Structure 1
């Protein structure tokens, strides 16, 4: 089902809108400025979701961030929150898959060794994706964050990809 058209505020209408990758491409890349930059972000999102779908049998991804608004500013990243259908699937991942999966999330205030350094923020796909994991019962809190519009007090919609 195609994503709805942009509102006059250049966001999706309020609500959660189911979409597949071709729908995301049509609205977030084809129907928005800075197509070259958006192509790169879309490729990062597509690869990110491809890995997630191989690791987690079923779930949802809510897509927001710079890619999901039709702004005059160049989009810098795409925000994704993952909601596995079954939390137990994460616990059953073998060690290599678990390491891959948990390496796909944004981290703040990271101290790395060898060489020792402090990193303010670590994001997947060279900083193009801000990835988060929704714990069971936290969906309402994430929906509230993903629905915040660009102007204080405004509300926007976001895309939901189901696999």
Structure 2
């Protein structure tokens, strides 16, 4: 399942590319700049997916963000979209398990008590990941988002990138 080679723009070719963790390591750590920083992100991804696979019996994860490009800048995190095979199983979770699932997701605009504080964003794994959950029927919207190339001033028009898909 090796991931395709980089395009001349240092991106994966457009589309969703099946991969396992060894494929992700080979392309996004070994064959990319800033290997040490990417090693840390990859370690966070492996741990994160291990927890996800324990909590969600079957599904897919789409891996994207700056980590999945070969750009010169150091990627600050990895973007992960979770697509459970059985959405109903998530709806049937008790409140404790549901809280554990929320711990896997990036939360925005959070108010915390004791001490009371407002946080713009809370990310899993100490901020090394942005985790999102795809509701059934929203796959196309997420695919467009995951394919967009972002630069320092927003989305780069005319460029589209691919992303990796891990299935369990």
Q: What TM-score range do you get, normalising by the shorter chain?
A: over 0.9
The equivalent of 1:129 in structure 2 is: 129
What is the deviation of 1:94?
A: 3.7
The structure 2 residue matched to 1:152, chosen from 153, 157, 160, is 157
Structure 2 CA distance for aligned equivalents of residues 77 and 66 of structure 1:
7
Structure 2 CA distance for aligned equivalents of residues 15 and 46 of structure 1:
22
What is the deviation of 1:77?
A: 0.2
Q: Please identify which structure carries the higher strand content.
A: 2
Aligned length: 163
Q: Which runs of 5+ in 2 are unaligned?
A: 151-155
**What is the TM-score of this pair, normalised by structure 2?**
0.94
Q: Which runs of 5+ in 1 are unaligned?
A: none
What is the deviation of 1:117?
A: 1.0
What is the deviation of 1:110?
A: 1.0
**What is the TM-score of this pair, normalised by structure 1?**
0.96
Q: CA RMSD in A?
A: 1.0
Residue deviations 1:14-39 (CA, integer Å, cap 9, x gap): 01000000000000000001111000
SS of the equivalent of 2:157 reads: coil
